[in-house]
Chain A
Amino acid sequence: MSFKLPSLKYEYNALEPHIDARTMEIHHTKHHAAYTNNLNAAIENSDMAGMSIEKIMAGISKYPVAVRNNGGGFYNHNLFWEIMSPDGGGKPAGELLDAINSSFGSFGAFSDEFSRAAATRFGSGWAWLVRTDNGLVVSSTPNQDNPLMDIADVKGTPILGIDVWEHAYYLNYQNRRPDYIEAFWNVVDWNAVSEKFHG
């Protein structure tokens, strides 16, 4: 059984003006599709065929770099599409908000730290909100690494992530990564993040 490119729960233009339709379409049908295809090719006829993506990530140090790069790319983009929505924005509520307040002091302190992690990740990568044994933590990873990987500095379950590869924003924002990060907050689906927090 092979991994499949998921379809999005909204149209490519649904996140405009924050993320434009052309960026969404290329990002999903070209970049994410390529990671998916390359992942399937990399695990074919190996002991990873049939494993869950989470299990593959957890043992990534044992596997070829093509699995790390493409498996990470497959998982990370799945999560990215899931935690955005045209009805997003605002603030989380309930237990997730309590946990954010408890770990960061306030929602504003959290969002500042997350934005800074995204802005200062040099080169390609991701910034994350991670559920760990010691509460919620903000981290960033290079390229397509993620907190599920046994090689990550901060290990845990990612519940929110922002793609800061230039392909995620260059057509719309070019060199202005901070503007893209600021706009991202308008499309964060806190219900989806909350589900991952409880999941």
Chain B
Amino acid sequence: MAFELPALPYGQSGLEPVMSEKTMGFHYGKHHQAYVNNLNSLIEGTRFANASLNDIVMESEGGIFNNAAQVWNHTFFFESVTPGGRGEPGEELARAIDRNFGSFEKFRDEFGKAGTTLFGSGWVWLVKNATGMLDIIQESNAGNPLRKGLTPVLTLDVWEHAYYLDYQNRRPDYIKAFWTIVDWQKVGNRYLQV
């Protein structure tokens, strides 16, 4: 069964002015769609033809991995944000952030720094390890923390296609704006899930 591009939980102009409608049109409508299409054609006739997306992300290499992980990452990213942002980290996540990073501000600074210093294309992740500890990691290109046994909680796309039409070389401005659209309700719920 072929994978399909998941519907966006908001309109393509919903994240303005943080991410413009034009950016979303390409990012979701072209890039995300292309990863889905490429994945479907690459897995045809392979042992991944009927596998779940998670299994493909965990077990594949090369072009299949790149496209599968990019489908996964973009879906997770677009579900991490919402027009105007929502709520605050719930009690449990807020406590974990304080415990692991000192304060919410320190967490935000560290996550933002990971975003600005990631060289080339990639993703910044807030992840939970097996003992419930939080960490911030950088992944190049299509990298996905599931491969390291970590549970993703929040992610930020720092491929240039995510922000170049709106911010050009000013990646730090994009990251600063990102915080205003994070769906903390969603992110907090992810943290609570095992």
Interface on A for B, CB 8 Å cutoff? Answer: 26, 30-31, 34, 65, 69, 122-125, 142-144, 165-167, 170-171, 174-175
Which of the four size classes fits the interface of chain B? 20 to 34
Query: In whole angstroms, what is the CA distance A165 to B158 when docked?
Result: 12
* CB < 8 Å neighbour of B169 from A26, A122, A124, A144: A26
Question: Nearest Cβ in chain B — how far from A93, in angstroms?
Answer: 36
The residues of B that contact A165 with a CB separation of less than 8 Å are 120, 160
Q: Is B140 an interface residue (CB 8 A)?
A: yes
Interface on B for A, CB 8 Å cutoff? Answer: 26, 30-31, 34, 63, 66, 119-122, 140-142, 159-161, 164-165, 168-169
**Is B169 touching A123 in the complex (CB atoms < 8 A)?**
no
**Is A143 touching B169 in the complex (CB atoms < 8 A)?**
no
Question: Nearest Cβ in chain A — how far from B169, in angstroms?
Answer: 4
Q: Known contacts being A122-B142, A142-B120, A143-B119, is A170 close to B160, with CB within 8 Å?
A: yes
User: Chain B residue with minimal CB distance to A143?
Assistant: B120
**Is B164 touching A123 in the complex (CB atoms < 8 A)?**
no
Question: Nearest Cβ in chain A — how far from B7, in angstroms?
Answer: 20
Query: In whole angstroms, what is the CA distance A102 to B63 when docked?
Result: 31
Q: Known contacts being A31-B169, A124-B160, A166-B159, is A175 close to B31, with CB within 8 Å?
A: yes
Query: In whole angstroms, what is the CA distance A65 to B121 when docked?
Result: 16
* CB < 8 Å neighbour of A123 from B63, B120, B168: B120
**Is A123 touching B30 in the complex (CB atoms < 8 A)?**
no
Query: In whole angstroms, what is the CA distance A124 to B162 when docked?
Result: 13
Question: Nearest Cβ in chain A — how far from B156, in angstroms?
Answer: 16
User: Chain B residue with minimal CB distance to A27?
Assistant: B169
